[in-house]
């Protein structure tokens, strides 16, 4: 179904863009929220770093 080249088509594209912007921003928020969890999983001990050099 092609989108018409008139006011209704422009409003439809604007509504789709508005909804997708929230989806993208929410996805970025989820990725940023996962960083502390990744930090806990990859905890590095100072003693192991000193022994490796």
The pLDDT tens digits for 1-34 are 788 999 999 999 999 999 999 999 999 999 999 9
Cα-Cα end-to-end distance for the chain? 63
The confidence score (pLDDT) of residue 38 equals 82
The confidence score (pLDDT) of residue 42 equals 75
Helices and strands (DSSP H and E) totals, the chain: 2, 0
Domain ranges of the chain: 27-53
The confidence score (pLDDT) of residue 50 equals 79
Average confidence (pLDDT) over 23-47: 88
The helix or strand, by DSSP H or E, that contains position 46, with its residue range, turns out to be helix 46-52
Structure confidence at residue 53 as a pLDDT band (50, 70, 90): low
- The pTM of this model reads 0.63
Q: DSSP 3-state helix, strand, coil percentages of the chain (rounded to 5)?
A: 80, 0, 20
């Amino acid at each position: 179904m092609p989108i018409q080249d008139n006011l209704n088509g422009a409003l439809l594209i604007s509504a789709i863009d508005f909804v997708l912007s929230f989806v993208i921003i929410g996805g970025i928020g989820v990725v940023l929220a996962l960083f502390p969890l990744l930090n806990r999983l990859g905890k590095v001990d100072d003693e192991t770093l000193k022994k490796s050099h």
